[in-house]
Amino acid sequence: MQMQLLKERILKDGLVEDGDILKVDSFLNHQIDIRLLEEIGKEFRHQFEGKEITKILTIEASGIAIACIAARHFNVPVVFAKKSKTLNISGEVYKTSVESFTHKSTNTIIVSKKFLLPEDKILIIDDFLANGKAVIGLSRLVEEAGATLVGAGVVIEKGFQPGGERIRSMGIDLHSLAIIDSMNPENGVIFRKE
Amino acid sequence: MQMQLLKERILKDGLVEDGDILKVDSFLNHQIDIRLLEEIGKEFRHQFEGKEITKILTIEASGIAIACIAARHFNVPVVFAKKSKTLNISGEVYKTSVESFTHKSTNTIIVSKKFLLPEDKILIIDDFLANGKAVIGLSRLVEEAGATLVGAGVVIEKGFQPGGERIRSMGIDLHSLAIIDSMNPENGVIFRKE
């Protein structure tokens, strides 16, 4: 279920730019409205009510803020995957490569093996879902660790891009707090009807 | 004043490696213990008691977690400076270059002009202080914006490196929650006596 307060904030302060870019840098991923994040964290807790979760997994940089505030409501630690341009990583890590829609680049993402254990029940959290590469990359790390993936929570899903469908068809329990079905600089943002 | 709970945690879970590296990735900057961060946030609020602060400024990636949890106690937004390898940044930004001790590299850090205003009273928050380059770089952005720098809070200061002295001698009100006077793989960590 989508989150009314978030949708209103996107309509008020989000900027749609050419090239399917939605700028939410005044409240979500450059300047961060902590009060809004607090409500987002509560909403994730609500949407994954009753699920046992031992750790929240996210990816640097803008996922960290959301994951940390949400983690307070789950009372679990956060692990964030690090992005690295180099494959030459020392130590024992799980790694995979992820393309970024926003940055048009490919990163290797890594998580230390110490922090993803077979007994972990993982909730993935991220800010945006477009092609789904970040969530799918993170889910590969969870699988490699032999941990259980409980689900994924994203703040904004671009419903007109294939990530959401891909992830749902993989059987991952995906909750998006706002799903945008179309957007352009002239007409702004249209959310999915529920 | 240093924070007892944090010092105990560093002694318990910090790993000292050659080259003046202290690994605290099990609780501070890869896996994040949110309950510890909650206490760190409260302690920063306590140490800057009575100071008017309108925004917390930090730098990606590992500063974000600490800044966001602390921001709840100050009831202000967070702005995080982005690291960029390129000088070719679009839009109106404040920028400066910062050397990283950990990564032995130089990054341009940028903040959108929209999010640092002349009327802002800024608290800088970061995880580590070694040579002080990150805090000093952030303070240049604050100055460029014509905003007021209220102070800087760091979680762990490497007191045997010059950053702390440099920053204090600039007249910046610096609070470090743990100050390490020496460390090595054989004897571990020795904190500064107060």
* pLDDT of the residue at A194: 81
Q: Give the 3-state secondary structure of residue B129.
A: strand
Name the more confident of B176 and A187: B176
Q: How many CA atoms lie within 13 A of A44 on its CB side?
A: 31
Query: Does residue B12 carry a pLDDT above 60?
Result: yes
Mean pLDDT of B107-131: 96
- Residues of A whose CB is below 8 A from B30: 79-80, 82, 111-112, 115
Q: Give the 3-state secondary structure of residue B152.
A: strand
**What element of type H or E holds B142?**
helix B133-144
Peptide bond into A61 cis (omega under 30): yes
The chain A residue lying nearest B81, using CA atoms, is A30
Chain A: which residues have CB within 8 Å of chain B? Answer: 25-26, 30-35, 37-38, 60-61, 64-65, 68-69, 71-72, 75-80, 82, 111-112, 114-115
* pLDDT of the residue at B158: 97
Mean pLDDT of B118-126: 98
Residue B60 distance to chain A (closest CA, Å) = 6
Residue B150 distance to chain A (closest CA, Å) = 19
Beta-ladder partners of A121 = A148
Nearest to B80 by CA among B94, B97, B63, B66: B63
Q: What is the pTM of this model?
A: 0.95
The chain B residue lying nearest A72, using CA atoms, is B34
- Could you read off the pLDDT of A151-177 as tens digits, one per residue? 999 999 999 999 999 999 999 999 999
Nearest to A141 by CA among A108, A174, A173, A99: A108
- Percentage of the residues of chain B whose pLDDT score is greater than 70: 95
Q: What is the 3-state secondary structure (H, E, C) of A45-107?
A: HHHCCCCCCCEEEEECCHHHHHHHHHHHHHCCCEEEEEEECCCCCCCCEEEEEEEECCCCEEE
Q: Domains in chain A, start-ordered, CATH in brackets?
A: 4-191 (3.40.50.2020)
Mean pLDDT of B124-147: 97
Query: Does residue A88 carry a pLDDT above 60?
Result: no
φ, ψ dihedrals at A133, nearest 5°: -65, -35
The amino acid at B101? F
User: A124 and A57 in contact (C-beta within 8 Å)?
Assistant: yes
At residue A100 the predicted structure's pLDDT band, cuts being 50, 70 and 90, is confident
**What element of type H or E holds B122?**
strand B121-129
Name the more confident of B99 and B165: B165
Query: Does residue A99 carry a pLDDT above 60?
Result: yes
Query: Does residue A94 carry a pLDDT above 80?
Result: yes
User: A93 and A113 in contact (C-beta within 8 Å)?
Assistant: yes
* pLDDT of the residue at B90: 59
Q: Which of A26, A33, A34 best tests the B interface by mutation, with the highest count of B CBs <10 A?
A: A34
Q: How many CA atoms lie within 13 A of B14 on its CB side?
A: 23
Query: Does residue A86 carry a pLDDT above 90?
Result: no
Q: What is the helix, strand, coil percentage profile of chain B, to 5?
A: 30, 35, 35
Query: Does residue B89 carry a pLDDT above 70?
Result: no
Residue B38 distance to chain A (closest CA, Å) = 9
Q: Which of B26, B34, B89, B114 best tests the A interface by mutation, with the highest count of A CBs <10 A?
A: B34
At residue B107 the predicted structure's pLDDT band, cuts being 50, 70 and 90, is confident
Sorted by sequence, the CB contacts under 8 Å of residue B57 that are 6+ apart come out as B67, B78, B79, B80, B81, B111, B116, B122, B123, B124, B125, B138, B141, B142
Q: Is B58 exposed, middle or buried (0-12, 13-18, 19+ CB in 10 A)?
A: buried
Give the span between the Cα atoms of A72 and B71, in whole angstroms: 14
Nearest to B44 by CA among B76, B9, B79, B70: B70
Give the span between the Cα atoms of B178 and B184, in whole angstroms: 16
Flag if A60 and B60 touch (Cβ within 8 Å).
yes
- Residues of A whose CB is below 8 A from B111: 30
Please give the angle made by the CA atoms of A45, B39 and A72, to the nearest 5 degrees.
Answer: 5
* pLDDT of the residue at B87: 53
* pLDDT of the residue at B102: 65
Other Cβ atoms less than 10 A from the Cβ of B101: the count is 18
At residue B22 the predicted structure's pLDDT band, cuts being 50, 70 and 90, is very high
Give the span between the Cα atoms of A30 and A16, in whole angstroms: 16
* pLDDT of the residue at A119: 98
* pLDDT of the residue at A102: 65
Q: What is the 3-state secondary structure (H, E, C) of A124-190?
A: EEEEEECCCHHHHHHHHHHHHCCCEEEEEEEEEEECCCCHHHHHHHCCCCEEEEEEEEEEECCCEEE
Other Cβ atoms less than 10 A from the Cβ of A159: the count is 20
At residue B106 the predicted structure's pLDDT band, cuts being 50, 70 and 90, is confident
Name the more confident of B89 and B108: B108
Flag if B68 and A37 touch (Cβ within 8 Å).
yes
At residue A105 the predicted structure's pLDDT band, cuts being 50, 70 and 90, is confident
Query: Does residue A101 carry a pLDDT above 70?
Result: no
The amino acid at B169? S
Q: What is the mean pLDDT of chain A?
A: 94
What the block records as the tokens of B95 is 């920028």
At residue A125 the predicted structure's pLDDT band, cuts being 50, 70 and 90, is very high
Q: Is B13 exposed, middle or buried (0-12, 13-18, 19+ CB in 10 A)?
A: middle
What the block records as the tokens of A101 is 């829609």
- Residues of B whose CB is below 8 A from A30: 79-80, 82, 111-112, 115
Flag if B30 and A60 touch (Cβ within 8 Å).
no
Q: Which of A31, A88, A90, A115 best tests the B interface by mutation, with the highest count of B CBs <10 A?
A: A31
Name the more confident of A46 and A103: A46
Flag if B71 and A32 touch (Cβ within 8 Å).
yes
* pLDDT of the residue at B99: 83
Q: What is the mean pLDDT of chain B?
A: 94
* pLDDT of the residue at B95: 93
